[in-house]
Amino acid sequence: MSDHHDDEHAREHDRPLSGPALRAKALESLLVEKGLVDPKALDELIDTYETKVGPRNGARIVARAWVDPAYRKRLLEDASAAIAEFGFIGRQGEDMVVLENTPKVRNVVVCTLCSCYPWPVLGLPPVWYKSAPYRARAVIDPRGVLKELGSEVPEDVEVRVWDSTAELRYLVLPERPAGTQGWTEDELAAIVTRDAMIGVAQVKSPGQSKR
């Protein structure tokens, strides 16, 4: 590790990651002073991901697929185009693939190498998705992870884990829960969770108990 005997170059590369808030502020000031960044654009970017993009978008896709068989077919055949029908396009959602859960197949999405995630339909990824435990374990022990998260997979159900190693972005189409016949699309969208669209949970109807 670096100490005061190291040369300038080595210290540059070993600078500790302390005070990230200060460092971020210093970097922003420098970039603004250089004319490389406009702070108002940063505000707009933050507002977009805090208020405009998020898992409610994905929930609308899922709900539509549950009520409209023709849409479901388009979604499974060409997810990018079917999702674009809602206007959910752009950064980190350019090429989408939708994975259909069935009584015999559970799909689970991970990015073991970094944090790839379908931003236009799910927003920015939660901390657990980007964390070492999930990235390390989802591929080697998906059943163990799902069990810990309260979503145990029966022995006779196949688990498919999708490691997002390219620019394809994956969205799980969960199974529609029993007891939701006759529900409107909006009512259905309200029960679809982020975790179900990543594949680590199933959608429960409000009448169902926690487990």
Partner 1 sequence: MNSVHDMGGMHGMGPVEIEKNEPVFHSEWEARVHALNLACGYHRKWNIDMGRHSRERIAPAEYLAATYYEKWLRGLEMLLVENGLVTAKELATGRAESKAGGASALRASEVTSFLRVRRLARVDDEVPPKFRPGERVLTHNDHPIGHTRLPRYARAKRGVIDRDHGVFIFPDTHAMTRDKKPQHCYSVRFAARELWGPRASARDSVYLDLWDDHLDPA
From the list 116, 131, 151, 209, the catalytic residue is 116
Catalytic site includes residue 18: no
Q: Is the dihedral of CA 106, 138, 126, 96 positive or negative?
A: negative
- What pairing do the DSSP bridges indicate for beta strands 95-100 and 168-173? parallel
Per-residue binder mask for partner 1 (CB under 8 A), 9-28, x = binder = ---xxx-xx--xx-xxxxxx
Per-residue binder mask for partner 1 (CB under 8 A), 135-174, x = binder = xxxxxx-xx-x--xx-----xxxxxxxxxxxxxx------
- 176 — alpha (psi -120 to 50), left (phi > 0) or beta? beta
Catalytic site includes residue 115: yes
Cα(137)–Cα(100) distance, integer angstroms: 22
Q: Rule CB under 8 A: choose which of 67, 76, 86, 89 binds partner 1.
A: 89
Q: Does 127 bind partner 1 (CB under 8 A)?
A: yes
Give the distance from CA 158 to its chain's centroid: 22
Q: Does 190 bind partner 1 (CB under 8 A)?
A: no
> In the complex with partner 1, which residue's Cβ is closer, 171 or 183?
171
Crossing angle for the helix pair 69-77 and 55-67, nearest 10 degrees?
120
- Applying CB under 8 A, the span of 33-41, 67-75, 173-181, 184-192 interacting with partner 1 comes to 33-41
Least Cβ distance, residue 211 to partner 1 (angstroms): 15
> In the complex with partner 1, which residue's Cβ is closer, 140 or 178?
140
Helices then strands, counting H and E runs in the chain, come out as 12, 4
Q: Does 82 bind partner 1 (CB under 8 A)?
A: no
From the list 2, 18, 29, 111, the catalytic residue is 111
Cα(166)–Cα(96) distance, integer angstroms: 11
